[in-house]
Structure 1
Amino acid sequence: MIRQIDLNNIAQAKAVYELQQLAYSVEATYLGTRDIPPLQETFEAFQTCDEVFIGYEKEGVLVGVLAYCIEDEVIDIHRLFVHPAFFGQQIAQELLQEVERHVHRKVVVMTGSQNQPAVRFYLKQGFELLKVVETSMNLSLSFFQKKPRD
């Protein structure tokens, strides 16, 4: 079941934050560093972000989250993560499809280039690679976009 998450609800916010820490720890292994924003973010900073959060629950347990902002009818995905025990179960795809139902222009997203499972996921979902940017931390970031079907 997919539902909106209220970060003002402490229990919901803690569940999302804890899942974020767990899921992004897997990405950190692909990137070779834990120095990535989702793992450095404090709970207080997390709770005050201005993103819209939706969550995927299985048997009442939060197992996937997608967070986004909308600007000029463009959906900018800021976070998309799934509990590692639920990888490969189409949860990220279902969360993405839920957001795409409301797209007017396009969806954009960025991920670490070394996170090949994420790169493959976005390409498989119809995103096109726009650019790859090298950062000062010896990481590269891949930027994707997906335009709505006509």
Structure 2
Amino acid sequence: MIEKIDFENKRLVKELYELQRASYLIEAELINFYEIPPLKESFEELLESKETFFGYFEGEELAGALSYELKGNELTICRMIVDSMYFRKGIAQKLLLCLEEDKKEIPIFKVSTGRDNTPAKNLYLKNGYQLIQDIEVVPGLFISTFEKRKADWK
């Protein structure tokens, strides 16, 4: 089940916080960079986030989540998080498709991930996102940016 995460539910936000830290630690290992902003974010900073979060639940357990920001006619996916126990079970795919369906009136979706995060890159490419560019954000760390425009949707 996918539903919006209620930030008034501090227990659930704490679960999201712990899941985020574990998930981004795996990405940090993949891209060999441990200064990923969600890894450095405090619980209080997460609580103050202006992003909208959706969670994927297996029963009562939060198994994955994504967040996004909407600015004008562009939606930016800010975070994609999946519990390692649920890797390769289609959770990221389901979250992505749910978001695209929920926001189908938005013509431009954007997302970024570490260039060396092959699983994430494959997810976006498989879903019709186009690689826009690789940007060196700090020496030796490249971020891949992707975009999907309404005309590209299948």
Alignment-derived partner of residue 129 in structure 1: 131
Query: Please, what TM-score do these two structures have when normalized by structure 2?
Result: 0.93
Cα distance in 2 for partners of 1:25, 1:84 equals 11
Contact 1:67 / 1:77 at 8 angstroms: preserved in 2? yes
Deviation at 1:135, TM superposition (A): 1.6
Contact 1:64 / 1:83 at 8 angstroms: preserved in 2? yes
Cα distance in 1 for partners of 2:85, 2:96 equals 19
1:112 pairs with 2:142: no
Cα distance in 2 for partners of 1:65, 1:81 equals 5
Cα distance in 2 for partners of 1:137, 1:89 equals 34
Alignment-derived partner of residue 17 in structure 2: 17
Deviation at 1:139, TM superposition (A): 0.4
Which stretches of structure 1, 4 residues or longer, exceed 6 Å deviation after superposition? none
Count of residue pairs the alignment pairs up:
150
Contact 1:2 / 1:55 at 8 angstroms: preserved in 2? yes
1:30 pairs with 2:30: yes
Percentage of matched positions with identical amino acids: 36
Letter in 2 for 1:144: F
1:92 pairs with 2:92: yes
Query: What are the residue-to-residue correspondences of 1:134-145 with 2, within 5 Å?
Result: 134-145=136-147
Cα distance in 1 for partners of 2:108, 2:80 equals 17
1:42 pairs with 2:42: yes
Deviation at 1:137, TM superposition (A): 4.2
Cα distance in 1 for partners of 2:130, 2:146 equals 5
Query: Please, what TM-score do these two structures have when normalized by structure 1?
Result: 0.95
- Structure 2, unmatched stretches of 5+, are none
